Amino acid sequence: MQCWTYFLQAISLAVLLQTTSGLNIVLTNDDGWAVAQIRAQRDSLVAAGFDVVLSAPAENKSGTGSSSATPQPLSQPCEFNTCPTGSPAEGFNASDTRLNYVNSFPVDSVRFGIQTLAPQFFGSAPDFIVSGPNVGNNLGTVTQNSGTVGAACEAAKEGLPSTAFSAATASQVSYTTLTSSPSSGVTKSALIYAKLTTNFTRTLLASAARPVLPAGVTLNVNYAATTFTSSGAANSDCASASDFKWVFTRLLKSSTAVDVEDCGSTHLPDEGTVVGSGCFASVTVMNATSKSDVSASVQAQVLQRLQPSGLLTCFTG
């Protein structure tokens, strides 16, 4: 029986890989184009067969929400000295032109990725926008000021499916640490969060049914803290991607709001409670304009897309 279970799991994975291979993704964040987490995410998506273009701020633009401004030439170096003062407003890595910076806000970065880079590299609009994983969680009302969430919302406003991902113990460190400190807790956390994000993206896009998400919404995904020491030793649970359990949630706690029926209840748990209760990943459907909870009928459309995968579990905390 155990061998048969492994066989079925292998078949399911093969189907997922086949259905998502070659899909085009614009990857962005608010922490900057050279932070370790976004580079780990890029590598993970590419390894899974996605065609990826990175378009992210030249510097850390955390907490800038949906701010927007015309990109300007660099008056100081890019983060971690990855480009010099005087560099153009938009630029790229000389050895990999799919790694792009925009010297402005996350909204401007994702807009450049969608409107300029996607036609250049894909010959069409992207299939999906991955924003993050953010360095630190974006839960509840914090989403109003998150640049990572703001970028995902901008994509949704432009008619493209998107998800904002945020991770409790991601770190604001250079991508070079992925190779210079491969066994550190920081690197191990980055790789786990990247794997979780790739797996979720693959699951969401596995069905050929379109649209992927209802119009005018994005998803807000948050990951609990991993459990590593600074040297990379695992303390307890949350030390691998398989430790995380996925829960369908709402932004704000409410005892009166009527949500989609899930796990025998019409009151979804709020994402802050779920993520703070252990090794969980929360999935919330969010209005891309107001950055607020959506109706039960809109939640239902997303839940119906995710349920067949068996990804989601019931929260009993």
Domain boundaries, the chain: 18-309
- Indicate whether 14 pLDDT > 80: no
The residue among 15 and 278 whose pLDDT is bigger is 278
pLDDT over threshold 50, residue 237: yes
Give residue 230's pLDDT: 72
Q: pLDDT band at 317, cuts 50/70/90? A: confident
Residue-level pLDDT at 46? 99
State residue 235's pLDDT score.
76
Lowest mean pLDDT among 1-10, 36-45, 86-95, 152-161: 1-10
pLDDT (mean) for 162-191: 97
Q: What is the pLDDT of residue 19?
A: 60
Q: Does residue 314 have a pLDDT over 60? A: yes
Q: Which of 92-101, 105-114, 196-205, 227-236 is least confident?
A: 227-236
Backbone angles phi, psi at 167, to 5 degrees: -130, 130
Contacts with 90 (C-beta within 8 Å, 6 or more apart), sequence order: 71, 100, 101, 102, 103, 112, 116
Q: Which of 89, 55, 93, 92 is nearest to 75 (CA)?
A: 89
Model confidence at 8, pLDDT cuts 50, 70, 90, reads: very low
d(CA 307, CA 317) in angstroms, rounded, equals: 21
CA 213, CA 160: separation in Å to the nearest integer?
A: 9
- Fold exhibited by the domain 18-309: Stationary-phase Survival Protein Sure Homolog; Chain: A, (3.40.1210)
Cis before 211 (ω within 30): yes
Does the structure show a pLDDT above 70 at 18? no
**With bands split at pLDDT 50, 70 and 90, how would you rate the model's confidence at 5?**
very low
pLDDT at 41 over 90: yes
Regarding predicted confidence, which is higher, 232 or 196? 196
What is residue 231's predicted lDDT score, i.e. its pLDDT? 75
- Entry pTM: 0.93
pLDDT band at 227 (very low <50, low <70, confident <90, very high): confident
What percent of the chain is predicted at pLDDT more than 90?
A: 89
Average pLDDT over every residue of 37-53: 99
Residue 11 has pLDDT above 60, yes or no: no
Tell the residue number behind the tokens 């926008």, with chain if given: 129
The pLDDT tens digits of the residues spanning 274-306 come to 999 999 999 999 999 999 999 999 999 999 999
- pLDDT score of 21 more than 80: no
Query: What does each C-alpha distance from 93 to 9, 58, 78, 178, 289 come to in angstroms?
Result: 38, 12, 12, 17, 33
At 94 the three-state DSSP class reads coil
Please state which of the ranges 2-6, 78-82, 162-166 shows the lowest mean pLDDT.
2-6
pLDDT band at 244 (very low <50, low <70, confident <90, very high): very high
Q: How far apart are CA 316 and CA 139, in angstroms?
A: 19
179: number of Cβ within 10 Å: 9
What's the token pair of residue 306?
């995710």
